[in-house]
Structure formats: C-alpha cells, structure tokens
C-alpha cells in the first residue's frame, strides 16, 4: 500500500500536468455554485488558476511537515476570511476538486486515491478553518 503523501503528490502531478486542470476545476465550481464567481475578481482568471495549482501543490508537498502545513493553512485561512469565505464553501470546493481530480485521470484513479484525497482535503479544510 502506498502512503497517503505519495498518492496525493502523484495524482496531483498527473492532474496538474494538464494545463486545463484548474480551468475545469473553476468551471465546475462556478457552474455548481455561481454565487462564488464574484469572489474571484481580484485577479485575472489565468492568474487565479495558476495560484490555485501552486497553492494546492505547496499544501500537498507540506503534508508530511506539520509546521509548514500549519503555516500554509493559517495564511490561507486569514486571506479567505477577508474574502468572506464561509465553512460551507469549503465543502463545495472540496467536492469540485475531487470530481475534477477523478475526471482528470480516470484510468489512474482508484479507491485509494479517493480515500487519500477525501481525508486530506477534510484535514486541510479543518486546518484552514482553525479547527
């Protein structure tokens, strides 16, 4: 059995190799929750997509380093609070992220990846929310 951090890194690397990964993520998120789109006007769409992949990669890379991960999530939490992000919105983002990851690699995605991402996202969201 592969450890969780390896699964997360490997699957994110596959998904993010497709330059449309972040585009598909935001398209899905805004299609399902159009009320979120106005929260993403500070940066250009392309810049936002790059920041999303970079931040997600940084968090996944820090998953085995609790102090670094805490620093990452605390920073995100502060910024997101300033933008008016609510706890419910993290559920929406998590659902869109998992679906986009799953669809990005249908042949490589397995139950092990589903579990790893579900558990990791839950942990990350809780840390961002300060729980």
The CATH number that applies at residue 46 is 1.10.490.10
Residue 131's pLDDT is: 78
Tokens representing residue 11 in the block: 């699957």
Residue 2's pLDDT is: 65
Tokens representing residue 73 in the block: 């999530």
The band of 108, judged by pLDDT with boundaries at 50, 70 and 90, is confident
Range of the structural domain that residue 9 is part of:
4-128
Chain CA centroid to CA 54, Å: 10
Residue 92's pLDDT is: 97
Over the stretch 7-62, which tens digit does the pLDDT of each residue have? 999 999 999 999 999 999 999 999 999 999 999 988 899 999 999 999 999 999 99
| DSSP code of residue 86 | -
Count of domains in the chain?
1
The owner of tokens 């042949």 is 107
């Amino acid at each position: 059995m592969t450890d969780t951090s390896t699964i997360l890194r490997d699957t994110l690397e596959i998904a993010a190799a497709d330059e449309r990964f972040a585009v598909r993520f935001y398209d899905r998120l805004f299609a399902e929750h159009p009320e979120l789109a106005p929260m993403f006007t500070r940066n250009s769409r392309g810049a936002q997509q790059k920041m999303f992949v970079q931040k997600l990669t940084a968090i996944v890379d820090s998953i085995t380093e609790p102090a670094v991960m805490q620093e990452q999530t605390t920073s995100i939490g502060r910024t997101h609070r300033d933008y008016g992000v609510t706890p419910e919105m993290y559920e929406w983002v998590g659902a869109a992220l998992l679906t986009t990851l799953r669809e990005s690699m249908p042949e490589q995605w397995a139950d092990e990846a589903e579990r790893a991402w579900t558990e990791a996202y839950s942990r990350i969201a809780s840390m961002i929310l300060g729980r």
